[in-house]
Amino acid sequence: MSTNQSPIEILDQLVAYGVVPVIRNSSADLARTAVTWLREAGYGTFEITMTTPGAVGLIEELSAEGGALIGAGTVLTPAAVADVVKAGAKYVVSPCVVPKVAAACRDHGVACLMGALTPTEVHAAISAGADAIKIFPASTVGPAHIKALKSVFPGVRFVPTGGIDATTVASYVASGVACVGAGGKLVDETLVKKGDREGILAAGRQLMEAYRAAKGA
């Protein structure tokens, strides 16, 4: 995988993958297991959240392995941007608008996805230099909200995350999203702890199939 991709090329790659698993676990070992199983299910990108213990080390490990596009989530400071980029992250996700994080992403040449819900927040995130807007938590506002935002920000790439599963993903695709993020049900910690590989594989494949069907792929 090229190491000199532009932020837009990285974003294009995310859009091509379609579904971004948001890995938020109580330990790096559980997170690593979830990534391994979801790779088996056909996923090619992973957002490792900074709330996962040992997140930077895991990003470094997965980046060194190659074969997947690794990003960092819940990034709230420029120092954290520097840490995750050094570890190999190609995109950085923040749950809210933090202009200094967007500036740090530009300095390091990585894609920046910034969280927003309202038109004012979307405008602030784009003005700060975000490459895409993470609508979080998406389930509290739903696809109709994103469709309305898309009508006034037609050139903005929206990536809803939070509460999206195989039963709801088609309605988000219909609202004009660029791609989607999925955590909870896709990376069910209870299943990972139990060693239920088949359960994770089934959930992963079901969501990906639903997304591709909605896209007509």
Q: DSSP strand E in the chain: where?
A: 19-23, 45-49, 69-73, 91-94, 111-116, 132-135, 158-160, 180-182
Active site amino acids: 47, 134
185 part of a folded domain: yes
* Mean pLDDT per 10-residue interval, the chain, length 217 residues: 78 97 97 98 98 98 97 98 98 98 98 98 98 96 97 98 96 98 92 97 97 92
Torsion angle, alpha carbons of 11, 15, 43, 51, to 10? 50
**How confident is the model at residue 135, as a pLDDT?**
98
Query: Which of 6, 5, 26 lies closest to 193, judged by CA?
Result: 26
46 part of a folded domain: yes
Is cis: bond before 137, omega within 30 of 0? yes
161 part of a folded domain: yes
What's the CATH number where 201 sits? 3.20.20.70
Amino acid at site 115: G
22 part of a folded domain: yes
Residue 171: domain span: 7-215
187 part of a folded domain: yes
Q: Domains in the chain: how many in total?
A: 1
2 part of a folded domain: no
Coil, helix or strand for 71? strand
Instruction: Quote the pTM value.
Output: 0.96
**How confident is the model at residue 217, as a pLDDT?**
67
Which residues make beta-bridge pairs with 153?
A: none
**How confident is the model at residue 2, as a pLDDT?**
39
